[in-house]
Chain A
């Protein structure tokens, strides 16, 4: 079964850091780019960041650029999001998501597999 399981969320004070992880299983992890998407409570979806299969291509939303860093460890089938200088507006459920296109076919793909999300709350 194809599965993504996020972890690492929690309550953190403004200005502090947190590292999210996403464990992938059931597919060949390094055949795909991977992404993070977040959803603030009661709000819509926001794309956060994406990384190519070999880390050669990375993108960030303007709202997190310079504060968040995406990375991956293909040997561990894992995706990460290092979040620094956290702000209250970063409070959200963070999903990792897999695109439906093999990396060999290009970097653009819709998200066919989502994790259950990990909640990050930034508050003093």
Chain B
């Protein structure tokens, strides 16, 4: 099975900061990579799919890049509503899998 890792596992940031989260796959997954945001008590929300395509309705401060094994999610100017946990997910081969998550909290 393809193993997904994320770094960092958590960090503190301030509104207005530019933040980057990294996701790595244990083998190549082309661009079959998605990013989700999850807030406590809520279902995950799709932000980015196909590694770099912004989901409809998602603010443009979110962007994704990468292909193969290394991917990044960038939030260009952190807003108060962006404090949440972020997960990457590969949907290249069964079994599909998620990264362990990155929690972004307020500094």
Q: Do A and B originate from a single complex? A: yes
Cβ proximity bits A41-53 to B, threshold 8 Å, 1 near / 0 not: 0001111001000
For the complex, give the distance between the alpha carbons of A58 and B87 in Å.
Answer: 23
Shortest Cβ gap from B3 to chain A (Å): 11
A residues in contact with B96, CB < 8 Å: 35, 47, 50, 59
B residues in contact with A25, CB < 8 Å: none
Chain B interface extent, by class: 20 to 34
B68 within 8 A of A: no
| Contact A108 to B87, CB < 8 A, known contacts A44-B100, A45-B44, A100-B46 | no
Q: Which residues of chain B from 60 to 94 have any CB-CB distance to chain A below 8 Å in the complex?
A: 85, 87, 89, 91-92, 94
Asked if A44 and B101 sit within 8 Å, CB to CB, the answer is yes
For the complex, give the distance between the alpha carbons of A37 and B38 in Å.
Answer: 14
Q: Which residues of chain A from 62 to 77 have any CB-CB distance to chain B below 8 Å in the complex?
A: 62
Asked if B101 and A114 sit within 8 Å, CB to CB, the answer is no
Shortest Cβ gap from A7 to chain B (Å): 15
B residues in contact with A108, CB < 8 Å: 32, 91-92
For the complex, give the distance between the alpha carbons of A94 and B96 in Å.
Answer: 16
Which partner residue on chain B sits nearest A112 by CB separation?
Answer: B46
A-B interface contact total, Cβ < 8 Å: 64
DSSP class of A's interface residues: helix, strand, loop or mixed? Answer: strand
Asked if A45 and B101 sit within 8 Å, CB to CB, the answer is yes
Residue in B46, B85, B94 whose beta carbon sits within 8 Å of that of A111 in the complex: B46
Residue in A46, A50, A59, A117 whose beta carbon sits within 8 Å of that of B98 in the complex: A46
A residues in contact with B97, CB < 8 Å: 46-47, 61
Q: Which residues of chain B from 35 to 49 have any CB-CB distance to chain A below 8 Å in the complex?
A: 36, 38, 43-44, 46, 49
Which partner residue on chain B sits nearest A4 by CB separation?
Answer: B43
| Contact A110 to B98, CB < 8 A, known contacts A115-B43, A116-B43 | no
**Chain A residues engaging chain B, CB cutoff 8 angstroms:** 35, 37, 44-47, 50, 59-62, 95, 99-100, 108-112, 114-117
**Chain B residues engaging chain A, CB cutoff 8 angstroms:** 1, 32, 34, 36, 38, 43-44, 46, 49-50, 55, 85, 87, 89, 91-92, 94-101
Would you give 10 A-B contacts (Cβ < 8 Å), ordered by A? Answer: A35-B96, A44-B87, A44-B99, A44-B101, A47-B96, A61-B97, A108-B92, A110-B91, A112-B49, A114-B43
